[in-house]
Chain A
Amino acid sequence: MKRLVWLCVGLLGLTGAATPSTPSVPKASLTRLTSGGCCSGTTWSPDSRALLYIDRPPGAAKAAIYSVPAAGSAAPSVRLSRIAFYAPDLTYAGIPKGNTMLVERLSDRKQWTLPTQGGQLLWGPGGQVAYTVSAQSGNYDRRIGRVYTTALGNTPRAVSTVYGGGAVAWLDANALLVSGKASALVRNRQLFTLDTRTGVRHVLVTALNLRGVQPSPDGRWVAYAITFDRVDRNGMFVQPTGGGAARKLAWFGSYQWRDAGHLLYIPLTMNAATHIVWQYDLNSNRSRPLLDLGTKVQSDQWQVSPDGAKVAFRRAGDSNLYVAKLP
């Protein structure tokens, strides 16, 4: 669950609100990993030692998934010749085939076919997957979405129906995080946990717009943003997934979990000279500036390494990939 998962209409939330003025912040020492402006859709390797991205450098015969060491110690090279939706731990690949998804276990090349109809796979513990089959036409937030789960090799099972949404992430082996409307014509959408064995739902929050829903790596908390609802309801929140009140945060920005207890975020502070990474501590409920990137991130493309020690980002201006160590 370390990797980010997005609502189908999802986004990282952001705003101009409430990050305090910035005291002296350590300046990042950047390592440039690429040249030539490659690297959209970058992800970290599971061991936090390399970055992976789709590319076809000049002279290459075809596109592939390239890898470049985070230490900057070597040039990019082909890591995976087949382009597919890979599980974050690189144990499975999802290959779209028409209205199905061919899932292959990379260790033995065993394959399964799932009738996803274009739905993205959410890789769960123990060889489980979830996906949402959504209508492709009609009002965006009234389109029916049916959530399916399966352990590979079994028949997929419909576990939930929502409108204008779908499954967001696995919280553990038996629980999914789902967002959507309970019926097509209601105003608000819900964010709820779903026990995939019993079908029991626990609604965490109901709001007009829920954005950037991201469970913590241990699945015990979820971060989300509410936008364009009542003024007093809008903002950035964290909430325990097992029950408990939401905590409204004093900042709004692009955010990612560093570990189970810390969120990293870049505030939406307009016209600042550089982007600064802040850290919010779940235990102390406090934020502090962590690292001044000394430049700006392009298109919100920044990724925290799975071990929480580094941040990679695509730099505005040259569109190349850079890495910095986090304090």
Chain B
Amino acid sequence: MKSRPLLSLLLLGGCVGLAHQAPALPDRQIARPNRQFGLPFAGNPGPTTWLLGQGYGNTLGSYRQRRSLYGNIQGIHFGLDFSAPCGTSVRAIGDGTVSEVDGPHGSPPHNLVIRHAGGLSSLYGHLLERANVRVGQTVKRGQVVAKSGDSQGTCVSAPHLHLEIRDWSHQRLFNPLPYIAADWDTLALAGGFVRGYEQDLNNPRRWQTPDDQPQARRGGPLLNEYANPWPPAPVGAR
């Protein structure tokens, strides 16, 4: 029986490797959003603890970086950002199994992926240090799995946690809001470090609320390469 953990690890590693090459999971294998997950931080939001930062989707900030930072995922912000001081305890949003620690998914300097039921995984990005969990480890919802960091690596510039909900293949990315039980309307009062959504003046009502944001697929065409954008991106932004 001693070999079982190692075997599990090898099997899981193999599955992960295959998943990177695997086609996107079809809708029938993806759990419907039902507020089945929790927030990645404990306690109340506030000026000392954590605040909602950038929303998911067609944000102003992602539009300005649609061809660069977000170009591989159709130009949108494919996760949620939570502002928090470096070192804030990050908690698993649901029961699952650690599938990758510092895998090839960006969000440097460190990231973590937890595989959940229903074809879904959660990714925790811009972590302060390598997560103190191991691949194959079972985790419970609310369990501390990592520490938040800073996308700029300074713990001063932009300290935040980037949270994604993906399918197991890592090809599809979903709006986390309907999956996570939280008072989003109140959290949004805190504003974000990138406020609002880019408008396509040919269709200015589309993708203008937190609930109405598109899914994204790895490598798909840009969703926000608008012929008539508002506001225009600053010169040099791409």
Instruction: Knowing A269-B186, A272-B186, A296-B185, say if A37 contacts B205 (CB, 8 Å).
Output: yes
Nearest residue (CB) in B for A18 is: B46
Contact A139 B157, beta carbon cutoff 8 Å: yes
Q: Which B residues are in CB contact (< 8 Å) with A261?
A: none
User: A56 with B158: in contact, given A14-B45, A15-B190, A235-B47 (CB under 8 Å)?
Assistant: no
* B48 at the A interface (CB under 8 A): yes
Residues of B within 8 A of A10 (CB): 191, 193, 195
Q: How far is the CA of A297 from the CA of B185 in the complex (A)?
A: 7
* Chain B residues whose C-beta falls within 8 Å of the C-beta of A11 in the assembled complex: 190-193, 195
Write out, one digit per residue, whether chain A residues 51-82 have a CB within 8 A of any chain B CB (1) or not (0).
00011100000110000000000000000000
A3 within 8 A of B: no
Which residues of chain B have C-beta atoms less than 8 A from A212's C-beta? 191
Chain A residue numbers with a CB within 8 Å of B228 are: 63
B61 to chain A, nearest CB (A): 10
A99 contacts which chain B residues (CB < 8 A)?
235
Residue numbers in A under 8 Å from B188 (CB-CB): 298-300
Q: Does A270 contact B (CB under 8 A)?
A: yes
Contact between chains at B199 and A54 (CB < 8 Å) = yes
Measured between beta carbons, the chain A residues less than 8 angstroms from B209 are 37, 40, 298-299, 319
Interface stretch, picked from A198-206, A220-228, A282-290, is: A220-228
The minimal Cβ–Cβ distance linking A138 to chain B, given in whole angstroms, is 9
* A266:B189 contact, CB within 8 angstroms: yes
Cα distance A117–B234 in the bound complex, in angstroms = 6
Q: Which of A14, A41, A119, A236 contacts B191 (CB 8 A)?
A: A14
**Given B44, B157, B210, B234, which contacts A270 in the complex, CB threshold below 8 Å?**
B44
Contacts of B187 in A (CB 8 A): 268, 270
**Which residue of the partner chain, among A40, A228, A319, contacts B47 with CB atoms under 8 Å?**
A228
Q: Which residues of B contact A48 (CB under 8 A)?
A: none
Interface hits, A210-263 → B, CB 8 Å: 211-212, 225-228, 231, 234-236, 252-254
Given contacts A226-B47, A252-B47, are A187 and B191 in contact (CB under 8 A)?
no
Q: B231 at interface (Cβ–Cβ under 8 A)?
A: yes
Asked if B204 and A56 make an inter-chain contact with CB atoms under 8 angstroms apart, the answer reads yes
Question: Is residue A208 contacting chain B, with contact meaning CB distance below 8 A?
Answer: yes
- Residue of B85, B183, B201, B233 touching A228 (CB-CB under 8 A): B85
State whether A54 touches B195 (Cβ < 8 A).
no
Contacts of B195 in A (CB 8 A): 6, 10-11, 300
User: How far is B122's CA from A79's CA once the two chains are assembled, in angstroms?
Assistant: 45
B21 part of interface (Cβ distance < 8 Å): no
B156 part of interface (Cβ distance < 8 Å): yes
Q: Which residues of B contact A37 (CB under 8 A)?
A: 205, 209
In the complex, the chain B residue whose C-beta lies closest to that of A227 is: B47
**What's the Cα separation between A252 and B47 when bound, in Å?**
8
A295 CB to nearest B CB, Å = 9
Q: Name the residue of chain B whose CB is nearest to the CB of A231.
A: B48
Which of A10, A119, A298 has most B Cβ within 10 Å?
A: A298
Neighbouring B residues of A296 by C-beta, 8 Å: 185-186
A63 nearest CB neighbor, chain B only: B201
B208 contacts A by Cβ under 8 Å? yes
A8 to B175, CA, bound (A): 25
Whether A316 sits at the interface, judged by CB under 8 Å, is yes
Assess whether B201 is in contact with A54, with CB atoms less than 8 Å apart.
yes
| B132 in contact (CB, < 8 A) | no
Question: Is B159 interfacial (CB 8 A cutoff)?
Answer: yes
- Are A298 and B185 in contact (CB-based, < 8 A)? yes
Q: Tell me the complex Cα distance, A56–B85, Å.
A: 41
Residues of A within 8 A of B (CB): 6, 9-17, 36-38, 40-41, 54-56, 62-63, 83, 85, 96, 98-99, 117-119, 134-137, 139-142, 164, 187, 208, 211-212, 225-228, 231, 234-236, 252-254, 266, 268-272, 275, 296-300, 316, 319
12 A-B pairs (CB sep. < 8 Å): A10-B191, A11-B192, A13-B191, A17-B46, A55-B204, A83-B230, A136-B237, A228-B85, A252-B46, A268-B46, A275-B186, A319-B209
